Amino acid sequence: MARNKREPIIALYADENGEIFDAPGILAMGREGDELRLLTPEDLIPLPESADLMFLPDRQAVGMSQEGEVLTLTGNAVSAILPAGYTRTMMPAFQLDEDASRLPLYGYTAVCVYKDQLYGAAIYTDENHKWDPEHYNTKNLKRLVKQVKKDLPNNPLIDHLANCSLEWHCCTAENIFYRRWECGIPTSPVCNANCFGCISLQPAECCPSPQSRIKFRPTAEQIAELGIYHLENAPEGIISFGQGCEGEPSLAAVNISAGIKLIREKTGKGQININTNAGYTEGIKQIVDAGLDTMRVSIISAIPESYDAYYRSNYKLDNVKKSIRYALDHGIYVSLNMLYFPGFNDREDELAAWKEFFRELPVQMIQVRNLNIDPDAFLDIMPEQKAPFVGTRKFLSELKKEFPQLVIGSFSHYVEG
Backbone angles phi, psi at 416, to 5 degrees: -70, 135
**Residue 50 region by backbone torsions, left for phi larger than 0, else alpha for psi between -120 and 50, else beta:** alpha
Selection from 148, 317, 125 nearest residue 226 by Cα: 148
Could you give the CA distance from residue 114 to residue 123 in angstroms, rounded to a whole number?
16
**For position 216, what pLDDT does the model report?**
83
Predicted confidence at residue 148, as pLDDT, reads 96
Phi, psi of 382 (to 5 degrees): -95, 155
Question: In this structure, which amino acid lies at residue 198?
Answer: C
Q: 133-409 belongs to which CATH class? A: alpha beta
Q: Contact at 8 Å (CB) between 362 and 5? A: no
170/164 Cα distance (integer angstroms): 6
Give the global pTM: 0.93
Long-range contacts of 355-361 (CB under 8 A, 24+ apart): 355/398, 355/399, 355/402, 356/302, 357/302, 357/321, 358/399, 358/402, 358/403, 358/406, 360/321, 361/321, 361/324, 361/325, 361/328, 361/334
Q: Cα(56)–Cα(123) distance, rounded to whole angstroms?
A: 22
pLDDT in tens, the chain (417 residues): 344 467 999 999 999 888 999 999 999 999 999 999 999 999 999 999 989 999 999 999 999 999 999 999 999 999 999 998 999 999 999 999 999 999 999 999 999 999 999 999 999 998 778 888 889 999 999 999 999 999 999 999 999 999 999 998 899 999 999 999 999 999 999 998 888 877 655 444 445 555 577 888 999 999 999 999 999 999 999 999 998 788 899 999 999 999 999 999 999 999 999 999 999 999 999 999 999 999 999 999 999 999 999 999 999 999 999 999 999 999 999 999 999 999 999 999 999 999 999 999 999 999 999 999 999 999 999 999 889 999 999 999 999 999 999 999 988 888 876
- Domain segments of the chain as ranges: 9-124, 133-409
The pLDDT value recorded for residue 204 is 42
Measure the CA–CA gap between 226 and 156, rounded to whole angstroms: 10
Cα 161 versus chain centre, distance: 20
Q: What is the DSSP string of 60-109?
A: EEEEE-TTS-EEEEEEEEEEEEPPTTEEES-EEPEEEPTTPPPPPS--EE
The torsion region of residue 253 among left (phi > 0), alpha (psi -120 to 50) and beta comes to: alpha
- Say if CB 368 and CB 408 are below 8 A apart: yes
Q: Residue 67: what pLDDT?
A: 94
- The answer to whether 292 and 274 are in contact (CB under 8 A) is yes
